[in-house]
C-alpha cells in the first residue's frame, strides 16, 4: 500500500472512531444501558436483542419508522437521521408485536406505557437539572365525593417551602394532555426543573404547582362503551363532555379546597392560575371561564376553547359573555395566554391562530406565543411553561 493511501485509511479510521465516540447513552436510559445512544447531531443509535425475530422496526410516534438490521450476534441495530431536539415517544415492532424497549425508561403516553428518548437541545438548560435550589415534588391522594373514588395528584413545592413556614404561596394548576396523566409534566415535561431554574434566575414568583389526574367519571356512572365509535362521533363527544364536566366538578369542589387546606396557599382568585396542554388546555378554558370567581390567570398550550372548527368564534356570546367587554375582561382576568408550535398539525395550528386573530380584533388583551420549529410535543410545552410562568402573580398597576 502506498504511503498516501495508508494516510487516507488511517484518517478515515480516526474519523470513524471519533464519530463512534461521539455517541453517548441517552439520559432516558435505564441504569447501565449503553443503548440507545445519541450524538451531537441529534442522531440516535438503537440496539435490541431479538435473535429469533424475522423483522424489527423502530416506531417513533411522531417521526421515522425505521427497519432495523439484524447482526450476526442476534442484535438488531439502526441509526436514525437527526431528530428534532426534545422528548420522543417510541416503541419497537418485533414481528407483529409492539413492545417497549427494555433499555429505556417507560413514560405514560398514548394511553399506555411507552419508551422515550431525550434528544438534547444545544444550548438549552432551562429544563435541565442545574446546581440551584430545588423544590420538592410530592404525591397526594384525596377522596372525591364527585367521582366516588380516591384520586391522585402531584404537587411541586418551591425551594424553602418547609423552612419559610410563615410564607404563603400562589398556586398554578397545570394539566396534561389526552393519553397522558398527572406524571407527564414532571417526567416528560421537567416542569419542576423549569420552575427551579426560573426561580434561581429571579424570573418568576415562587409558586405551588398542582398536576391533577385529568380523567374523571361521576360516582356510580359506568364507563361508556365506545367500541367502534370513531373520534368525533356523537357518542365520543358525549363521553368527553361528561368526563370534562366531572373533572371540572372534582377540581373546583374537591381538589382546590384540599390544596388550600393542606398547603400554605394564598386562597383567592388573584393568586390562582390554571393552564394545560392539548386536552388540558381545553379543560382549562372550560373550568376557568366557568369559575372566574376562582381563577384569574388562564393558559392554553396547544389547546384552548373556541380554537376548533373552521369559523371565527363569536366572542360576544362565548362563555356567557365573559369576553364581550374587553375593558371589564382585562380587569377581571390578569392573563390570557395562548401558545402553539409552528409545526403543529394544520387544523390545530390554524384554529389557534384564528382564536388569536379573533381576540386581537375584539381588543381582548392576551399573549400569543409560537414555539419555532416544534409540533404537538413536549418541547413546545416546555417552552410554553417557560414563557407562561414568569407572567404569573406579578404586581399589577392600580
Q: Please name each of the domains of the chain with its CATH number.
A: 24-119 (2.60.40.10), 136-391 (3.40.50.1820)
Minimal CA–CA distance to 345: which of 318, 307, 305?
Answer: 307
- Asked if 100 and 92 count as a contact pair (C-beta separation under 8 A), the reply is yes
pLDDT < 50: residue spans in the chain:
1-19
Helices 279-290 and 234-250 cross at an angle (nearest 10°) of 60
Which backbone phi and psi does 380 adopt, to 5 degrees?
Answer: -60, -45
Helix (H, G, I), strand (E, B) or coil at 303: coil
Cell of 339: 401558545
Q: What is the pLDDT of residue 229?
A: 64
- Asked if 74 and 56 count as a contact pair (C-beta separation under 8 A), the reply is no
Query: In whole angstroms, how far apart are CA 160 and each of 132, 196, 202, 370?
Result: 12, 11, 15, 34
Cα–Cα–Cα angle for 280, 109, 342, rounded to 5 degrees: 60
Task: Map grid coordinates 366572542 to a residue.
Answer: 315
Cell of 229: 365509535
Q: What is the pLDDT of residue 313?
A: 82
Helix (H, G, I), strand (E, B) or coil at 173: strand
Q: What is the pLDDT of residue 17?
A: 42
Minimal CA–CA distance to 232: which of 339, 308, 313, 341?
Answer: 308
Q: Is the peptide bond before 36 cis (omega within 30 degrees of 0)?
A: yes
In which element (H, E) is residue 378 found? helix 378-388
Q: What is the pLDDT of residue 202?
A: 97
Cα–Cα–Cα angle for 48, 24, 130, rounded to 5 degrees: 125
d(CA 162, CA 206): 13
- Asked if 380 and 371 count as a contact pair (C-beta separation under 8 A), the reply is yes
Amino acid at each position: 500500500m502506498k504511503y498516501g493511501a495508508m494516510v487516507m485509511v488511517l484518517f478515515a479510521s480516526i474519523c470513524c472512531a471519533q464519530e463512534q465516540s461521539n455517541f453517548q447513552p441517552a439520559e432516558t436510559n435505564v441504569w447501565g444501558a449503553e443503548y440507545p445512544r445519541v450524538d451531537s447531531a441529534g442522531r440516535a443509535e438503537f440496539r435490541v436483542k431479538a435473535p429469533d425475530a424475522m423483522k424489527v422496526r423502530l416506531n417513533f410516534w411522531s417521526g421515522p419508522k425505521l427497519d432495523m438490521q439484524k447482526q450476526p450476534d442476534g442484535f438488531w441495530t439502526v441509526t436514525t437521521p437527526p431528530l428534532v431536539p426534545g422528548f420522543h415517544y417510541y416503541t419497537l415492532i418485533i414481528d407483529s408485536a409492539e413492545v417497549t424497549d427494555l433499555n429505556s425508561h417507560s413514560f405514560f403516553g398514548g394511553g399506555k406505557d411507552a419508551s422515550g428518548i431525550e434528544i438534547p437541545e444545544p444550548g438549552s438548560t432551562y429544563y435541565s437539572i442545574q446546581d440551584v435550589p430545588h423544590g420538592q415534588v410530592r404525591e397526594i391522594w384525596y377522596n372525591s365525593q364527585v367521582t366516588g373514588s380516591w384520586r391522585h395528584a402531584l404537587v411541586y413545592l418551591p425551594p424553602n417551602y418547609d423552612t419559610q413556614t410563615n410564607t404563603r404561596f400562589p398556586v398554578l394548576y397545570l394539566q396534561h394532555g389526552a393519553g397522558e396523566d398527572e406524571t407527564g409534566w414532571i417526567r416528560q415535561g421537567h416542569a419542576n426543573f423549569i420552575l427551579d431554574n426560573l426561580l434561581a434566575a429571579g424570573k418568576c414568583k415562587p409558586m405551588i404547582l398542582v398536576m391533577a389526574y385529568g380523567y374523571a367519571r361521576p360516582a356510580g356512572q359506568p364507563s361508556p362503551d365506545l367500541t367502534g365509535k370513531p373520534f368525533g362521533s356523537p357518542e365520543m363527544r358525549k363521553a368527553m363532555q361528561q368526563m370534562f364536566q366531572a373533572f371540572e366538578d372534582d377540581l373546583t369542589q374537591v381538589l382546590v379546597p384540599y390544596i388550600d387546606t393542606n398547603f400554605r396557599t394564598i386562597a383567592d382568585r388573584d393568586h390562582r392560575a390554571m393552564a394545560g396542554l392539548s386536552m388540558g388546555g381545553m379543560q382549562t378554558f372550560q373550568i376557568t371561564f366557568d369559575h372566574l370567581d376562582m381563577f384569574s390567570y388562564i393558559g392554553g398550550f396547544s389547546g384552548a376553547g373556541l380554537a376548533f372548527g373552521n369559523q371565527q368564534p363569536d366572542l360576544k356570546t362565548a362563555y356567557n359573555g365573559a369576553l364581550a367587554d374587553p375593558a371589564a375582561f382585562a380587569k377581571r382576568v390578569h392573563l390570557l395566554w395562548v401558545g402553539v408550535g409552528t409545526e403543529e398539525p394544520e387544523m390545530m395550528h390554524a384554529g389557534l391562530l384564528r382564536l388569536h386573530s379573533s381576540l386581537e380584533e375584539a381588543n381582548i388583551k392576551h399573549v400569543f406565543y409560537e414555539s419555532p420549529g416544534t409540533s404537538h410535543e413536549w418541547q413546545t410545552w416546555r417552552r410554553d411553561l417557560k414563557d407562561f410562568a414568569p407572567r404569573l402573580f406579578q404586581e399589577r398597576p392600580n
